[in-house]
Amino acid sequence: MTTKNRLREQMQRPQAVDPDAPAPATESAQEASKPARKRSTRTTAEKPAAATTAPAETPTQERPSRAQVLVPPSAKVARRLGLYLHDDDYRTLKTAELEDRADPQDRMRAMLALYRHNDRYRAAVDRLARSAPKGTGRSI
């Protein structure tokens, strides 16, 4: 509402005239003699309420188009998770590190970013985790 009032005030204020500017176009006598247009008094019909579905248990979050790797800003705020790896898994991570110089911890963070971002990847990981043998390492 205040924006309309401000615009109205600005329109009513006299403007400084620039002598180099071209003269503003004036209304022709024919246009000035026309009566002002009346606004429609017609009201729109109420739209029927949309069918509601059950609310989702969790609010949908808008995800970025690319997965983001989250890195803790400092060791004070970081959470530590001990992970015991099989020799083959450790060897795979170290071999990949030699190939592209990406730290194994950064690679694990990237995997977690994909887990957060990609629903199909998350479902596959969850399915595999549920079917994995229990008690294969120290629990922390």
The confidence score (pLDDT) of residue 75 equals 82
* % residues pLDDT > 90 (the chain): 29
Domain span at 109: 101-133
In a domain, 124, yes or no: yes
Q: Does residue 57 form part of some domain?
A: no
If you search the block for the tokens 């109420």, which residue do you land on? Answer: 46
Could you give the number of structural domains in the chain?
1
pLDDT band at 133 (very low <50, low <70, confident <90, very high): confident
Give the CA count within 13 Å in the CB-facing half-sphere of 125. 12
Mean local confidence (pLDDT), 61-65 = 64
| pLDDT surpassing 80 at residue 111 | yes
- 16 inside domain: no
In a domain, 85, yes or no: no
Q: How far is 109 from 71, CA to CA, in rounded Å?
A: 8
Q: How many CB atoms lie within 10 A of CB 24?
A: 7
